[in-house]
Amino acid sequence: MALSSTSYRPPPQFALKADAKLVEIGVVVRDPRGHAVAGFTRDDFEIADEGRKREISAFSVETSAPVAPAARPSGEAAVAASSAPATVSQRYIALLFDDMSMEHGQLVAAQAAGLRFVKEGFRDGDHVALFTTSGAQNVAFTTDTSKLADAIGKLRVPGRTPGNGDCPAMTQYEAYLIANHQDLATFNVKIAEKARCLSVHVPPDVTRWSALGAIQEQVISQANAEWEQVLLASRTTLMTIANVVDLLGRMPESHTILMASSGFLSGTLERELDEVTRHAVHAGIVIDSIDAKGLYTESASAEKTSPAHPRSINNMQSIANASKEAPNDALASLAYNTGGLFFHNRNDLDAGFQELGIRPDISYLLAFIPDETPNGKYRHLKVRLKGPSHNTVQARLGYMAVQPPRAKPRPERRIDTLAVATSVVEEVPGNLTTQLVHSASGERGVMAVFHVDIQQLRFTGKAGVRQQKIILIAMLLDSGGNFVTAKEGTVTLALTEPTFNRFAADGMNFMLTLPAPPGSYRLRAVMEEAIEGKASAETLPVEVQ
């Protein structure tokens, strides 16, 4: 029997609004010192859609605090600026801490900056929610800064599987290079290191060594295993971002994701990354990203993990810069392609949260009507100020020309449909219960207990081994029905007759634990067996104290 679990969120249901012909663009004009500049009018801006100028059909000014207008030309333009309506809209910000990528010190620095932002960066109309890629701590959209601050302060680096002590040590980036056949030099270096680990003499030119054999295969196997773990973590991160996009897209008015991360490798995941970006652009969501690693130098690297051999050191130095920048590629892509900012190579994370998260004192909303028939493709935008200026314009870089939606495809898995439903289903022999948990470190939460009567469960198999697979989902909702956190588990059963007989009388229990701060919740628990597709689902009230 084996039980594995990972974070879970319901599949994104991206809302397509093809009937909305107006393309809206939020714009901030900043002076050379980064301050928002007031006093601009519709006639000061120019929009290019795939290089073609568009007429600005709607224009408004938004303010979050009184701002002294910048030096502007006198006359009609000044009169128009003073007469422009100023409004304060609601803004929904999703704070996303990529705790799966961070080391302890990086998370502590990001926490401190996030706490300061929550305490000092709020403006009227702001609603903020907290998410983590591990799914360990989440807060629904709220204006309660004390609730957010408390949750941010409790964030911890999730437990990780310790290294297996393989020799040679292999970084994630080295595993990526070898597993994807990107760098023969790194592959050869690791072969030589592996040979030294095994006390095997290696000739100077390892590529001509006729006795590579098993050593080469061992290095490839190690790289593939490491890369599979990296891919799993990166996919989980992208899935989390996609689900935050989905949730945020349902909120009214302005949407922003403010993501603090140490970066994650996205090589070979270009399609998934592009899909998340396209849906964010489609929903009008800006993703701002902060590199939690801060400022680093090329010298800080794998010297602690690689054998002190000249060839290894030389290779480490040759890929050092690329290995540091590669995890940032996804962060930069998400930010720049959604009209956001990427804060990196700076240690002042406070400034990052302040610069990216605080609502600008003054911003502008521009809109135009495209004249082409929507074809479902991404279209590039360029917003600029007419005439010479030392100011810079911050705006999204494109939008999706949305086609009329087709019929919504049926969910691929029944269990996902049951997870978001409220009905009670009783097909799997057994029951669902809950149990409160309180760890020694002070963390609280709830445990979903899935009890299965295996005597009434159908199995397959041969040679006296009963085989079955059960998928479990435990999802925690707040009192308002908003998603808080969830896990999905997979139980693989391969029971010999003695083992089956031992558990037959009392059945088997499988548990998923969801950390959560004190409060009232609803736990949605679902399980589905693989052979007949039978499922059970129930929603249970939970009070975490």
Q: Where in the chain is the domain with CATH 3.40.50.410?
A: 91-161+227-357
Q: Which is nearest to 47 in space by CA: 423, 467, 364, 289?
A: 364
Reported as a pLDDT band with limits 50, 70 and 90, residue 297 is very low
Q: Which residue has the higher pLDDT, 117 or 463?
A: 117
Predicted confidence (pLDDT) at residue 404 exceeds the cutoff of 50: no
Side-chain-facing half-sphere of 455: CA atoms under 13 Å: 7
User: What digits encode the pLDDT tens for the residues 243-261?
Assistant: 888 888 877 767 889 899 9
d(CA 523, CA 538): 8
pLDDT band, very low/low/confident/very high, at 204 (cuts 50, 70, 90):
low
Among 41-45, 254-258, 502-506, which stretch is predicted with the lowest mean pLDDT? Answer: 254-258
Q: Is pLDDT of 310 > 60?
A: yes
Position 359 pLDDT exceeds 70: no
Task: Quick: pLDDT tens for 384-397.
Answer: 999 888 898 888 77
CA 110/CA 106 separation, integer angstroms:
6
**How large a percentage of the chain has pLDDT more than 70?**
79
| pLDDT confidence bin for 471, thresholds 50/70/90 | very high
Q: Rounded CA gap, 172 and 270, in Å? A: 18
What is the rounded CA–CA span in Å between residue 84 and residue 89? 15
Which of 149-163, 198-212, 274-288, 435-449 is predicted with the least confidence, judged by mean pLDDT?
198-212
Question: What is the rounded distance in angstroms from the CA atom of residue 463 to the CA atom of residue 201?
Answer: 46
> Which pLDDT tens digit goes with each residue over 116-155?
888 877 777 788 889 999 876 678 888 888 889 998 998 8
The pLDDT, as a whole number, for residue 531 is 94
More confident residue, 399 or 450: 450
308 has pLDDT over 70: no
The one-letter amino acid code at 545 reads: Q
pLDDT at 105 over 80: yes
pLDDT value at position 30? 86
Mean pLDDT (the chain) is 79
Instruction: State the pLDDT at residue 59.
Output: 92
> Can you state the angle between helices 184-197 and 213-249, rounded to 10 degrees?
120
Spatial separation of the C-alpha atoms in residues 231 and 266, rounded to whole Å: 8
pLDDT for position 528: 96
The answer to whether 468 and 459 have CB atoms below 8 angstroms apart is yes
Q: What is the pLDDT, as a whole number, of residue 285?
A: 85
Q: What is the pLDDT of residue 349?
A: 67
**Is the pLDDT score of 45 beyond 90?**
yes
Nearest to 187 by CA among 223, 225, 155, 158: 223
Between these two residues, 25 and 80, which has the higher pLDDT value?
25
Q: Output the CA torsion 477→483→484→487 (10° steps).
A: 90
State in words which class domain 91-161+227-357 has.
alpha beta
Confidence of residue 78 (pLDDT cuts 50, 70, 90): very low
Tell me the one-letter amino acid at 10: P
CB atoms within 10 A of CB 100: 22
Residue of 303 and 171 predicted with greater confidence:
171
Q: What is the mean pLDDT of residues 270-298?
A: 78
The model's confidence at residue 400, banded by pLDDT at 50, 70 and 90, is: low
Q: What's the mean pLDDT in 527-543?
A: 94
User: In terms of CATH architecture, what is 2-13+411-544?
Assistant: Sandwich (2.60)
Residue with the larger pLDDT of the pair 535 and 321 = 535
pTM listed for this prediction? 0.58
Alpha-carbon distance 457 to 453, whole Å?
7
Determine what percent of the chain is predicted with pLDDT higher than 90: 22
Among 161-165, 251-255, 493-497, the least confident range: 161-165
| Terminal alpha carbon distance of the chain | 33
Mean pLDDT value of segment 14-27: 61
| pLDDT of 189 higher than 90 | no
Q: What per-residue confidence (pLDDT) applies to 358?
A: 58
Query: According to CATH, where is 2.60.40.10 located in the chain?
Result: 2-13+411-544
pLDDT, tens only, 315-342: 777 787 787 888 888 898 888 778 777 8
